[in-house]
């Protein structure tokens, strides 16, 4: 699919101007899509309506899309890149280099994923430990409150014993 899109852009660029240029009245020249619209019309991929109207918001039917795709595929099949042997070798070298780079990046990503998995396991252990410590602190605080209350009861009994 990407190959077809690249070829479409390349073919439209190569062939622009080979057909009588049409005026598109309903797409402003300042519109970012203007050049693509103009080239698509100039190359005969998409028609104008009522002389110069492109109707940019009108949907394209499957039938119209099939005609455009047929024209693109025919243009792609007819096109010859005319690469020299040195250019072909350079492309092969770049492809090999890119493969090696991609493999290295894939290995690095795998190592990072392993580290992330290890950190996630450590995080679970830490969460368990923190929960355990929190529970122990709650228990100690409860025991201290109980001891404090018993101390006050003992003090109160001691004072009563002195008074009697």
DSSP 79-99: ------HHHHHHHHHHHHHHH
Is residue 151 a part of any domain in this protein?
A: no
Is residue 22 a part of any domain in this protein?
A: yes
Which has the closest alpha carbon to 15: 40, 51, 47?
A: 40
Is residue 18 a part of any domain in this protein?
A: yes
pLDDT tens, N- to C-terminus, the chain (164 residues): 444 444 455 444 444 434 456 788 899 999 888 888 888 888 877 888 888 898 888 887 888 878 888 887 777 766 656 677 888 788 888 888 888 888 889 899 999 999 999 999 999 999 999 999 999 999 999 999 999 999 999 998 988 888 87
What's the structural domain count of the chain? 1
Is residue 37 a part of any domain in this protein?
A: yes
Residue 138 DSSP SS3: helix
Is residue 128 a part of any domain in this protein?
A: no
Tokens describing residue 16? 């622009």
Helices H / strands E in the chain, number of each: 4, 0
């Amino acid at each position: 699919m990407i190959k077809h899109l690249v070829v479409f852009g390349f073919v439209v660029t190569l062939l622009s101007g080979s057909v009588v240029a049409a005026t598109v009245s309903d797409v402003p020249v300042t519109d970012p899509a203007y050049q693509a619209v103009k080239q698509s019309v100039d190359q005969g991929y998409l028609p104008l309506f009522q002389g110069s109207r492109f109707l940019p918001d009108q949907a394209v039917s499957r039938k119209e899309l099939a005609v455009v795709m047929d024209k693109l595929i025919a243009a792609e099949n007819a096109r010859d890149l005319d690469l020299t042997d040195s250019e072909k070798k350079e492309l092969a070298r770049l492809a090999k280099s890119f493969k090696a780079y991609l493999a290295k990046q894939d290995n690095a990503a795998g190592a990072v994923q392993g580290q992330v998995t290890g950190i996630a396991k450590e995080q679970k252990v830490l969460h368990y430990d923190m929960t355990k410590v929190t529970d122990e602190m709650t228990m100690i605080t409860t025991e201290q409150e109980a001891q404090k209350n018993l101390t006050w009861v003992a003090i109160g009994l001691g004072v009563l014993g002195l008074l009697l």
